[in-house]
Structure 1
Amino acid sequence: MTHLPERLLAGYRNFMAQRHAAESERYRTLAREGQAPETMVIACCDSRAAPETIFDAGPGELFVVRNVANLVPPYRPDEQHHGTSAALEFAVYALKVKHIVVMGHGRCGGINAALNPAAKPLSPGDFIGRWMGLVTPAAEAMAGNPMMTAAERQTALERISIRFQVANLRTFPWIRSREERGELSLHGAWFDISTGELWVMDPETGDFVRPEV
């Protein structure tokens, strides 16, 4: 009997034989000197949209926090548990990251739940329903548009939500002040799982455009 699924153990063996063997010195340096990534990525939990894979990042290059639908709750220093806010605080204060990227993706299950709150297996009373309440106003506006197909509403809300999350980042006073001083840049991006295309949010217009590759 193993303590982990065999697929994970096999993957670990490949990691040790290949990547770790090729970058062993880098890992030793990171262990000795600590991490110093310049970029934080707030991404979705979806197994199909891993930032380290999409951006071909090596160990120590990205500080990643993942949650359902890549959401950023507004700044609210109370007695509740705030995992994403805690990660932001660590990234900004301790790591002094220079960039924060909110990266959404196509066919997001969380966004679909926001558009269809009564759909099984999720219900508005459970954790996901409450969590996705952060985009409820935009979701209700999308759901009420009869001129759009379900797929169009999904993609539109995925991108609109990214703009909302970037705006929520600016409710954190220590993020807003650093951005105003030019010490920190905020970005939005959307990844199409089906085609592999990456769309980047224009900081001036909010439009999503394809970067040159």
Structure 2
Amino acid sequence: MQKLLDGIVKFRREDFEAHQELFKGLKEGQKPHTLFIACSDSRVDPNMITGTLPGELFIIRNIANIAPPYRETKEYVATTSAIEYAVLALGVENIIICGHSNCGGCAACLNPTEELNHLPHTKKWLELIHPVRDRVLKEIPASEPGARAWMMEQGNVVEQLKHLMTFPYIREKVAAGKMQVSGWHYIIETGEVFIYDTETSEFHLANG
């Protein structure tokens, strides 16, 4: 806890002071240009990866960077409501699904389901990416765990892009050329980001 308290003091004395005008402007409201859907993994920092400042990204984080398919419901749906708010209330211009290497959620999904019996809500949540898991287990042999992990992580990003297009207001904006949707695979140990190309159905290294 002390590390966090020290961080508060450092932020106020250094980072906040360096961006006073930015924060003064932000007090009036937010106008982010991008909805960034990322994994909750503590090793993934959306603002650091993209070099953005407060106010630029509207960030949703959950286990395995999942965007559930659209559905009408009266249940409490955190991710779906956040997507709705970002698109319809804030008017974001871009949506990014960002997966990452060594994803614990993807790895857990590849293991026998009974291993998650002690985490019932996590187990239920990961059912959303079982279609990806099934393809990976069918196509990649168990003797190639690295290839399985890579395909699971990237396949999951593609699956979530498909889920986003089930949201009627996202589909309409994309069709009208008013919104861009992109899928990323961030490699923690190298800092590289691979971006999904919908034309080739492949991930290509972002190199500027």
With normalisation by structure 1, the TM-score equals 0.92
Residue number in structure 1 paired with 2:19: 23
Q: 1:14 is matched with which residue?
A: 10
- Number of matched residues? 207
Q: Please identify runs of 4+ aligned residues in structure 1 that moved more than 2 A.
A: 117-120, 122-125
Residue 119 (structure 1) shift: 6.6
- Relative to structure 1, the CA distance from residue 27 to residue 117 in structure 2 (aligned partners, 3 Å threshold; closer, same or farther) is farther
The one of 143, 147, 150 aligned to 1:155: 150
> Measured at CA, do residues 147 and 113 of structure 1 come closer, stay the same or move farther in structure 2, by a change above 3 Å?
closer
Distance 1:179 1:115 in 2: 32
The aligned runs of 1:1-213 (5 Å cut-off) are: 5-32=1-28, 34-118=29-113, 120=115, 122-123=116-117, 126-144=120-138, 145-146=140-141, 149-213=144-208
- Provide Cα deviations, 1:152-184, integer angstroms capped at 9, x if missing partner: 101111001101100100001011011111111
Structure 2: gaps of 5 or more residues: none
Identity of aligned residues (%): 36
Q: How far does residue 203 in structure 1 lie from its aligned partner after superposition? A: 2.6
How many Å separate the matches in 1 of 2:166 and 2:63? 20
Distance in 2, Cα, partners of 1:136 & 1:180: 28
Question: Is the partner of 1:151 in helix, strand or coil?
Answer: helix
Question: Partners of 2:65 and 2:119 in 1: how far apart?
Answer: 20
Cα shift at 1:148: 5.5
Amino acid at match of 1:192: I
1:36-77 per-position Cα deviation (integer Å, ceiling 9, x unaligned): 111110000000011111112111011100000000100011
2:132, 2:159 within 8 Å by CA — same for their partners in 1? no
CA deviations on 1:3-31 (whole Å, 9 max, x unpaired) are xx111111111111111000011101100
Distance 1:181 1:148, change over 3 A: farther
One-letter code of the match for 2:24?
R
3-state secondary structure, aligned to 1:9 = helix
CA distance in 1, matches of 2:149, 2:65: 15
* TM-score, L = length of structure 2: 0.95
CA distance in structure 2 between the aligned counterparts of 1:148 and 1:172, rounded to whole angstroms: 38
